[in-house]
Structure 1
Amino acid sequence: MKGHHKHLIGYIFISFFMLFANFFIPLTTVKAEPVGLPLNDYMVIDTPTIINPPNGTNYFNKNTASIQNEDTAKLTDKAGQIVKEGGLLVKNLYTLNRGTMGAIWSKDSDTWDLSQVQQISAWMNFGPPDDSSLVNGEGLAFVIQNDNRGTKAIGTGLQGLGVYGYDLTTFPSASPTPPSPELVTLTAVKNSVAIEFDTNLNKAGEGKVPTLIHYKDLLIDKSEEHYTSNGFDSDIGIAGSTGVNLLPNSYLGLKIPGERGWGHIAFSLPGNENSYADVFNGSVPTSYSKLKISTGMSLFHSNATVANLIDDIDYFGKPVNWHHVTITWTPDENLLAGTLSYVYNDKDEHGINNTNKTTDNYFKRVESSVKVPMSTFDVHNGDYNVRWGFTGANSSLGQLDADGNETGSEKVADKYVKLETLPDSPNPIANSSITDNTLNKTITDQSTDNNVNSGDSVDLNYEIKHAEDNNKTSDSKILPDSQKPSWKDIVAAIQIPDMETYLDFRQEDSPNTPGQKRIGYIEYQDGTQDDLLVSDVSLTSGQAESTSTKVAINSRLVTKKLSKDLDNTDNKITNVKIFGTAINKDLKDHLVQKAPVYFNGSNAIISTSSPEFNIRYEKNWSLMAKGLEENYTLRFQQDNPNITLPIELSYNPEQKFVPGDELIVDINIDNEKKIESKINVTGNDTTEKIEIPINETIFDSASDFWNTFSLEKNNPHRIEITVTDKDSKVSNNVQFFVEVIPDKTLRVDASKSISFKNINYSSKADYIHRQDDGYVKVTSRNNPWQLRTRVVKPLTKSNDNEQFVGSLLYIDDDQRSALDDSPTLIEEDNHSYSEETVKTISDTWKDDTGVILKQTGLNEAGQYVGTLEWSLADADIN
């Protein structure tokens, strides 16, 4: 590149005094309880076949379960009654302290197919917290069994939970008959696996006493006593020993680290002799030995886990009454075993999914699984259909006072179960989302941006599917969920959160019925629709709850029966859409809570919830942006290119910024490259200064940066910036200009004047030397150069234009050149310096070198002025 950098030589004045030259240069409603399936259609409560052990009588002989309100299995009946009898020579005969127990089993038409994936979901209620084993014991169990007694199978009460055996010690005479694993197993549910939800710790040991179940007091002598050691969860003696021929990770007693609280969940094999063992192992506690009881039976538990069954609380410290559980059986392909798993507290009483797996102080999700051998169930001849159900027991410990009177028994909590799905039910899926049509975005539970603006068009969306898609291979014996029966008689019950106050229905013309307005629709796989009308809406009220806050609200309930079932062929997916408008007339944002949604079918019930979303309050002001500088320069392909564009933001009318609020910066370069950047507000004043960095980090690569900031195309480049705040207020457009120059420097600088010494009139001196040197310097980077000079205007007398008799010379060690109107090479440098380098040419001038004035004749007195031009050009280094 050739560049002429012109700098005028100032005027040279000749007078009596001097001669000089110059050089110029951005409601949910609390439900009373969940809904369950009609139990009489699928389950049966039968009169049990009671097995008496050879060492005594089994006084746990009654199934107290009942069905309440069609959908609730009540497994127990308070504390039970003390049976008091008499007779000849009999002073007193008591049967006491046995509580009540119950069992409910699947009908023959609703068995559990061990050769297929099976799943049920249920709600369980263990009673209110009372910090008392009398009130809170004992618990319930989910059981899969192949007992020959079928629906008449039952275990024992108290610690037996209606499924385990009776650890009976009898005193028919002075010599006691202790229990053994074989005797305990006789009274248990056979060929079974259980998941126990145990609300009470049953521990034998020092300070504990065995529980008297029955005694007969003769007039002559006490002749018969029946005891249970009440020690299935014991942690004394050989507790913690590992089991043999049992489930993996099985330990005697309850081997759980840390605080055990009011409950635990564990797997077990109730009908396996190896599940029971004498925990005392010869070291009998004093309180037992003085009653001549030498054996304390304990139970092997697998994967025992702490769980709050009784004293669980929700996010606000409110007791949780109903606990949801999902239980799944997944067989191995070879059908030699299967995996039994559970997820406890997987959703709350309002149907809202629970993801809390870590926080112990409220409503914790608990899950576990275990591998179960198929031999557990004693199935034969390819028939893998077995029975399943729930058993439960409550406590009556301490129900007699010192005088033998019953006390406190009315407080004993019963155990309840509701079923949501069955093993052969479809396994439907429900999802939800919110669409903001105004902002063109979708909000789900996973969304990090859940903000909408007041006045936005907002739709509530619910998708239900017959089953999740499975990827089973075609040769698998295990059928996918999609092969399960149709989901029938579905009724949608959709709660609309914060209705009327913060969300209002938006009515649209129905395309299905001319002249009819609708508030939403149900759309089936074939495209047909059911309209949702205002008549489908009812009003409810209550309190909305979420992890964030708790507020009193009104809520609308949309109820509609679907006109089509869901199946695995013609109607796999159905979508529900409800039209709404977001409203917020407050002076602060409003968080709309999750609201539960139920889809109640005759053979399956599922629930989901609408996502939380935040309605931003109306902000009737505009965002203003002002650029604080306008023009910038970049050197082409320089290292680490960076420019910072300062912008000042303000609101009109005046408002303060909030520290931490996110601003979205949209950068448009030459209408060809668009980049979005995010920054946060730092101050809380009425103005906010932000700095927008333009560097390689916001581009895909360095080449992308320089392709955008080309040296040739669109140069200088125009950058347009708009800023959007968290309320979607968009600023005006701010423009900046960036000139890209070669990555070189070549510059000449000279002083404004060079003055020569005065001479007298008629002086005949040949050379007139400089009175001051002035300066001439060259700055270069990555650019070899040549410096030249020429006379633009000869030295001329200022008052009559008479030229000076003589000439300007440039003298150095290598040359002696007369300066005229042709450029004369003064200096050159063929080096290319990586850093800016300054070379001052005039530093080498001496008295008789540099720019010298030569007189060749007589000159009249006066002031002489002339002009020199200095020019730089690229050096030709070839």
Structure 2
Amino acid sequence: MQNKLLKIINIFITFTICLSLLPINTAKAAATPPTTSEVYQTTPPGIAMKDFVSKADTYKDGTVNSAKLFEAGNTTYDNSTDIYQLLSSDGGQEQTSSFWGKVSSDDGGSSSVNNYFDLSKPQVISAWLYMGDKSAYSGSSDDTAKGLPDGLAFVLQDDTRGTQAIATSANEGKTAFGEGLGVWGVASSSDNTLSNFVDPSLGAIQNSWALEFDTLQNSSPAASGSNYDDYFDGLTYSGVKIAKGQHMAWDYPANVGINQNNTSANMGVNPNDSGNTYYGKNNNWGNIFTGYKNHYYYGLNHRDVIHSMYLTGYTSDSATNVYNSWHHFKLSYTPPAAGSTLAKMSYIFNDKTYDGTLKSYLDYDKKTNVTVDISKFMRDGNTKVRWGFTASTGSQSSSPSTFAVIMQQMPNVANIETTTKLYDLSQYDADDNLGREIKDLDKRPVSITAATKDPDYNVANGDKLRLDYNLNYISGFEGTGSDITTNITLPSNVDFSPDEDNNIGQIIYSGFSDESKNRTVPISATSLTSDNKVALTLDALNSENENIKIELFGTADAQTTPTTVKGQHASYQSLHFLDDIMSPSFIINDRLQLTTNDNLDLGTIQTGNESNNQVNLNLAMNYLNSSSFDTKGVTLYTKVDDKTATKTTISTADGKTSYDIANDIANSTQFSADYLGTGTHKITVYAIDSMNRVSQSITYQVKVEGKQLKLDVDPNYSFKNINKVAPDGYVKRKGHWKVSVISSDTPWTLTANGTELTLENDASQVIGPMFYRDKNGNDFSMLNQDILIAQDLSSDSKTTDVSGSWANDKGILLHDDQDNMAGKYQGKIHWSLIDSV
């Protein structure tokens, strides 16, 4: 980056000399990269690190740890938050450093701090990284510029050296500089001759997992007499470099390396198939590197590489200001399923801007759901391992630069999962419940054009919406340390007008051991600021499973459709916890309309009246802004009173802008008096299209008069299970039998007869017969004869619950006084309902 700037300045100077006699041009030269002081004085928000991290001042061989903590308000830099500096531009060519989450053993057990990484629980690391002001590339992005530091690494480890763990030369035990980045092992600091081969993994931080931020391409052997390990980025697979340019990748540093005696034609390591971390080459490499055939060189396996990144310098060529010197990094860990050691890691880089606003999902570097075997770095099954950062420089093409870290989330201080969700409260989910989740358009796997027709990302104009912001406390010994200051920018094209109580939402607190803290707090419209933001102060979170849920209610409100609504930034800030999140992006599409020409009071119809015994609903459908229907059809739902709605598909194969709905489509718009039954009824209709857009409901009322007689029986009744023989000589009913008579303008009589029950696969095995026991205890066999069950002498309109009057030992029962063969027995009841007595 600096080289580019100097070139621009030179051109500008030449230009002004040539035009020295003309009026001075007011254009300015490009700004030079900011100094370390300027970068440190312009820090993004971070949390205090002093009490929660540790470092060794020196390593086992006496090498000085270059890491330095600059607390907020440092007299040199006046920085606003704690900064851990790993490398320094004036610290010399060979530097190595590390810092780790503090655990109680670091100060002899006198501290209660246990800032470890718990492999048995979900964990999050969030940090801002500064990796100097030097340009990443001078030419091809497959390679890097020279004169860069070697890089840094995020590390999980359970090395017995604790805070003194650092990469060393395997055969000498000396602290290693350069491409090892403080975590990868090197074979030797002085001698890699063929007679002195040593496995590099022995020099790594033991019991470890590392994610490297490699800023310098190490892919050529060093000159004789210097560090011979300068080929970590030189391995290829199918003729292509495994690691291109500045990159991120991971592996197990202490995993065994091997000596491969392959010829140059077979140089190739599949990073996904390989079980090894380091690959050594002997004198067969002499065909490529003439003069170095008496030495071993080592390549490093790279898993799940993100290639050709911009780690050093600004976040992009166009973002050349001090605020873009900091790069955000976040790692999310999901523990293994029970009985497994395979966990998931997801890591992202440059995902948000200085103010915390997340960039588009397609605009930052990421690897998701990477599989990691935790058994490779757990010592004796311990799930509580150290986390931290290491860094180093010193390779032959390197030069020092300032590297620094600001923490936003540390895993066991306050580990909080934050999520946002959007629900359309006017649409139905897969279980036919109102409230369908709308997916985030920003993370779509399809083009924006395809997404406009995908119901997953669409709502209808005018739909009721709910935005959820969730904070769930996973783990941590310290908690947030203070209330959580929350600022939410509301999305555009959503009307958040307050309800009758002047509220726009609510905060739901749950999972607190103190029941008084579990409550729902309304969000007043007074929380809205003039710039369309909601400012809230949330209670502190301190214990596992404590949850805060913010619900904001609005209405989709677009002037034109389709309209894409971008996600908006929400920030959480407390003493020990910081995070940023975006609301889901989505599309507002045209609204589906259902209209009628009928009066909603359909009047009165009568049973038995041929000229007035049914109603027809005259319905039409279109879209509010005259959009055309797709060819996938529309489903019409009709619901009578409290019955389950019926569904009928209306063809839209010709894709018109409006449809008259025929009133003979599977009777979905035609209702007879006999079907409805006497009384007053409500008929509700609504439509849902292929994109899940729901029309408004239309509810009619109709009154049915006339004679009616109807039996309502649940055919799935049964008797209780018995063990060989019923103890009372009869078998009682199982559960509540539904037997009801719906009548109007007629008396009635209900009788029944029943068969014996026979074994399912052997009709010779019989239980029974069934019999009816009246309220006075008289028994009447139902075998081959009709028995009076109930009757009504009146002509009133009513529903009579016949079986509801049966006591447990009354009504229809099953005779049984003998041993029975095990199995399932079946029989039948024949009901007769007549309109007389």
TM-score normalised by length of structure 1: 0.50
Q: Is the 8 A contact 2:632 2:652 kept in 1?
A: yes
Q: 2 CA distance for matches of 1:465 and 1:484?
A: 15
Shift of 1:193: 0.6
Q: Secondary structure at the match of 2:145?
A: helix
Q: Cα gap change, 1:600/1:692 in structure 2, threshold over 3 Å: closer, same or farther?
A: farther
> Counterpart of 2:421?
432
Shift of 1:593: 2.2
Q: Is the 8 A contact 1:182 1:273 kept in 2?
A: no
Q: Secondary structure at the match of 1:161?
A: coil
Q: Cα gap change, 1:505/1:188 in structure 2, threshold over 3 Å: closer, same or farther?
A: same
> Counterpart of 2:180?
160
Alignment partner of 1:294 is 2:279: no
Q: 1 CA distance for matches of 2:145 and 2:197?
A: 27
The letter of the residue matching 1:165 is G
Q: Cα gap change, 1:278/1:119 in structure 2, threshold over 3 Å: closer, same or farther?
A: closer
Q: Cα gap change, 1:228/1:47 in structure 2, threshold over 3 Å: closer, same or farther?
A: farther
> Counterpart of 2:306?
307
Q: Cα gap change, 1:48/1:118 in structure 2, threshold over 3 Å: closer, same or farther?
A: farther
RMSD over aligned CA atoms reads 5.7
The letter of the residue matching 1:38 is A
> Counterpart of 1:55?
none
Q: Is the 8 A contact 1:232 1:298 kept in 2?
A: yes
Q: Is the 8 A contact 1:345 1:364 kept in 2?
A: yes
One of 465, 476, 480 as aligned partner of 2:472: 465
One of 538, 559, 563 as aligned partner of 2:535: 559
Alignment partner of 1:345 is 2:348: yes
One of 109, 119, 125 as aligned partner of 2:123: 119
> Counterpart of 1:92?
none
Alignment partner of 1:503 is 2:495: yes
> Counterpart of 1:229?
229
Q: How does 1:234-249 map to 2 (within 5 A)?
A: 234-235=234-235
Q: Is the 8 A contact 1:256 1:306 kept in 2?
A: no
> Counterpart of 2:222?
210
> Counterpart of 1:728?
695
Larger radius of gyration: 1
Shift of 1:230: 0.8
Percent identity at matched positions?
16
Q: 1 CA distance for matches of 2:290 and 2:625?
A: 85
Q: Is the 8 A contact 1:141 1:194 kept in 2?
A: no
Shift of 1:589: 3.5
The letter of the residue matching 1:154 is I
> Counterpart of 2:61?
51
> Counterpart of 2:486?
493
CA-to-aligned-CA distance 1:210-263 (integer Å, 9 cap, x gap)? 168xxxxxxxxxxxx422331224437xxx9xxxxxxxxxxxxx9999785643
Q: Is the 8 A contact 1:126 1:416 kept in 2?
A: yes
Shift of 1:153: 3.4
> Counterpart of 2:281?
280
Q: 1 CA distance for matches of 2:468 and 2:548?
A: 11
Q: Cα gap change, 1:292/1:81 in structure 2, threshold over 3 Å: closer, same or farther?
A: farther
Q: Secondary structure at the match of 2:50?
A: helix
Q: Is the 8 A contact 2:506 2:552 kept in 1?
A: yes
Q: Cα gap change, 1:101/1:385 in structure 2, threshold over 3 Å: closer, same or farther?
A: same
Alignment partner of 1:142 is 2:137: no
> Counterpart of 1:105?
100
Alignment partner of 1:267 is 2:251: yes
Q: 2 CA distance for matches of 1:33 and 1:606?
A: 15
Q: How does 1:438-453 map to 2 (within 5 A)?
A: 441-446=434-439, 448=455
Q: Is the 8 A contact 2:638 2:646 kept in 1?
A: yes
Q: Cα gap change, 1:133/1:394 in structure 2, threshold over 3 Å: closer, same or farther?
A: farther
> Counterpart of 2:372?
370
Shift of 1:395: 7.5
Shift of 1:582: 4.2
> Counterpart of 1:192?
207
Q: How does 1:638-649 map to 2 (within 5 A)?
A: 649=620
Q: Is the 8 A contact 1:520 1:579 kept in 2?
A: yes
Q: Is the 8 A contact 2:211 2:249 kept in 1?
A: yes
Q: Is the 8 A contact 2:283 2:293 kept in 1?
A: no
Q: 2 CA distance for matches of 1:661 and 1:597?
A: 38
Q: 1 CA distance for matches of 2:623 and 2:280?
A: 79
Q: Is the 8 A contact 2:633 2:652 kept in 1?
A: yes
Q: Is the 8 A contact 1:434 1:611 kept in 2?
A: no
Q: 2 CA distance for matches of 1:46 and 1:656?
A: 68
Shift of 1:106: 1.8
Q: Cα gap change, 1:606/1:138 in structure 2, threshold over 3 Å: closer, same or farther?
A: same
Q: 1 CA distance for matches of 2:569 and 2:485?
A: 11
> Counterpart of 2:585?
612
Q: Which has the higher contact order (CA 8 A, sep 6+)?
A: 1
Shift of 1:152: 3.6
Q: Secondary structure at the match of 1:151?
A: helix
> Counterpart of 2:760?
none
Q: 1 CA distance for matches of 2:369 and 2:49?
A: 26
Structure 2 gaps of 5+ residues are 1-41, 71-78, 104-112, 168-175, 259-275, 441-454, 511-515, 599-615, 703-837
Q: Cα gap change, 1:188/1:346 in structure 2, threshold over 3 Å: closer, same or farther?
A: closer
Q: 1 CA distance for matches of 2:91 and 2:257?
A: 31
Shift of 1:42: 1.0
Q: 2 CA distance for matches of 1:305 and 1:63?
A: 29
The letter of the residue matching 1:498 is P
Q: How does 1:592-607 map to 2 (within 5 A)?
A: 592-605=565-578
Q: Secondary structure at the match of 2:330?
A: strand
CA-to-aligned-CA distance 1:183-231 (integer Å, 9 cap, x gap)? 9567643x33122324368565xxx34168xxxxxxxxxxxx4223312
> Counterpart of 1:578?
552
Q: Is the 8 A contact 2:282 2:293 kept in 1?
A: no
Q: Secondary structure at the match of 1:387?
A: strand
> Counterpart of 1:133?
144
Q: Cα gap change, 1:211/1:266 in structure 2, threshold over 3 Å: closer, same or farther?
A: farther
Q: How does 1:737-748 map to 2 (within 5 A)?
A: none
Q: 1 CA distance for matches of 2:684 and 2:554?
A: 36
Q: 2 CA distance for matches of 1:671 and 1:278?
A: 72
Q: Is the 8 A contact 1:179 1:295 kept in 2?
A: no
Alignment partner of 1:524 is 2:509: yes
The letter of the residue matching 1:728 is S
Shift of 1:457: 5.6
Q: Is the 8 A contact 2:127 2:407 kept in 1?
A: yes
The letter of the residue matching 1:161 is L
Q: Cα gap change, 1:391/1:118 in structure 2, threshold over 3 Å: closer, same or farther?
A: farther
Q: Secondary structure at the match of 2:179?
A: helix
Q: How does 1:451-850 map to 2 (within 5 A)?
A: 458-467=465-474, 486-499=479-492, 502-506=494-498, 509=501, 519-525=504-510, 526=516, 528=519, 530=521, 532=523, 536-538=527-529, 556-568=532-544, 572-584=546-558, 586-605=559-578, 608-616=581-589, 623=595, 649=620, 655=626, 657-659=628-630, 663-667=634-638, 674-678=645-649, 681-683=652-654, 687-688=658-659, 694=665, 726=693, 728=695
Aligned length: 554
